[in-house]
Structure 1
Amino acid sequence: MTTLLLHCGHARAAVHADDGALLAVLAAQCRPWITAQPATRVPPGTWTVRIGDADAGARVPSRTGASVRLRPDHRLLHLPAPAPCDDTEAAVRPVVRLLRALLRRQLAASGAMFLEAAVLALDGGGLALVGGARAGKTTTLVAALRHLHGTLIANDEISLHLARSEQRTGAEPGVHGQLIARGYPRAIEVRRDALTYLGAAADRLAAAADPGSPPQALSLTPHRLAAALEAPLADAVALSALVLLARGTGRPRLQRLTGPDAAAVADHLTVADSYESWLQPHLPAQDPDPRGADRLLQAVPVWRLTQPLTDLQTSADLLAELAHHPEASR
Structure 2
Amino acid sequence: MDSSSSTRQYTVRSPFAHTGLTCAPEVAEQVHHLAAPYLTLDQGAAEPGAWRVVANPPPRLDATVAETVTAQGEVAVEYAVDHADRVLFHVAPRSDAWITQSVLRATRAVHRCAAGRQGVLFLHAGLVELNGIGVALVGGSRAGKTSFIMASVLNGSGVMVCNDDVSIAAHADRPGVIGTGWPRSISVRLDTLELLFGRDRAEEIRSSLSHPANETLPTLRDSGVEPHGTALLYPWEYADILHTKIGQSTKVDALVYLSLADDPAEVDLAAVPQAASTELLSERILRLPNKHLNIFGHEPSPGSVERTRRALTALPSFRFRYDFRDVHQQVDRLADYLSGRI
TM over 0.5, yes or no?
Answer: yes
Distance between the aligned counterparts of 1:58 and 1:257, measured in 2? 50
Per the alignment, residue 309 of structure 1 pairs with: 324
Letter in 2 for 1:128: A
Per the alignment, residue 10 of structure 1 pairs with: 16
Q: Is the 8 A contact 1:119 1:155 kept in 2?
A: yes
Per the alignment, residue 298 of structure 2 pairs with: 284
Q: Is the 8 A contact 2:65 2:80 kept in 1?
A: yes
1:160-193, CA deviations, whole angstroms, 9 ceiling, x for partnerless residues? 0113675xxxxxxxxxx51111111111221234
Output the TM-score relative to the length of structure 2. 0.80
Per the alignment, residue 238 of structure 2 pairs with: 225
1:89-238 matched pairs, under 5 angstroms: 90-163=98-171, 166=174, 178-195=176-193, 198-200=195-197, 203-209=200-206, 210=209, 212=215, 214-215=217-218, 216-238=229-251
Per the alignment, residue 224 of structure 2 pairs with: none
1:50 and 2:54 aligned? yes
Letter in 2 for 1:306: R
Distance between the aligned counterparts of 1:200 and 1:237, measured in 2? 28
Letter in 1 for 2:311: R
Q: Is the 8 A contact 1:208 1:220 kept in 2?
A: no
1:33 and 2:38 aligned? yes
Residues 81 and 163 of structure 1, relative CA distance in 2, 3 Å threshold: same
Distance between the aligned counterparts of 1:214 and 1:34, measured in 2? 27
1:184-226, CA deviations, whole angstroms, 9 ceiling, x for partnerless residues? 1111221234445x24266545423336262221221122122
Output the TM-score relative to the length of structure 1. 0.83
Give % identity.
Answer: 23
Distance between the aligned counterparts of 1:242 and 1:205, measured in 2? 31
Q: Aligned-residue CA RMSD in angstroms?
A: 2.8
CA shift at 1:78, angstroms?
Answer: 1.6
Q: Is the 8 A contact 2:113 2:289 kept in 1?
A: yes
Letter in 2 for 1:310: R
CA shift at 1:154, angstroms?
Answer: 0.7
Aligned length: 307
Extract unaligned runs of 5+ from structure 2: 1-6, 71-75, 219-228
1:315-330 matched pairs, under 5 angstroms: 315-322=330-337, 324-327=339-342
1:222-277, CA deviations, whole angstroms, 9 ceiling, x for partnerless residues? 22122111121121111121110133333844211113321212210002123114
CA shift at 1:61, angstroms?
Answer: 2.2
Q: Is the 8 A contact 2:90 2:99 kept in 1?
A: no
Candidates 246, 256, 279, aligned match of 1:243: 256
Extract unaligned runs of 5+ from structure 1: 167-176
Q: Is the 8 A contact 1:240 1:326 kept in 2?
A: no
Per the alignment, residue 313 of structure 2 pairs with: 297
Q: Is the 8 A contact 1:152 1:226 kept in 2?
A: no
CA shift at 1:285, angstroms?
Answer: 4.4
CA shift at 1:55, angstroms?
Answer: 2.7
Residues 203 and 295 of structure 1, relative CA distance in 2, 3 Å threshold: farther
Q: Is the 8 A contact 2:122 2:285 kept in 1?
A: yes
Which 4+ stretches in 1 moved above 6 angstroms? none
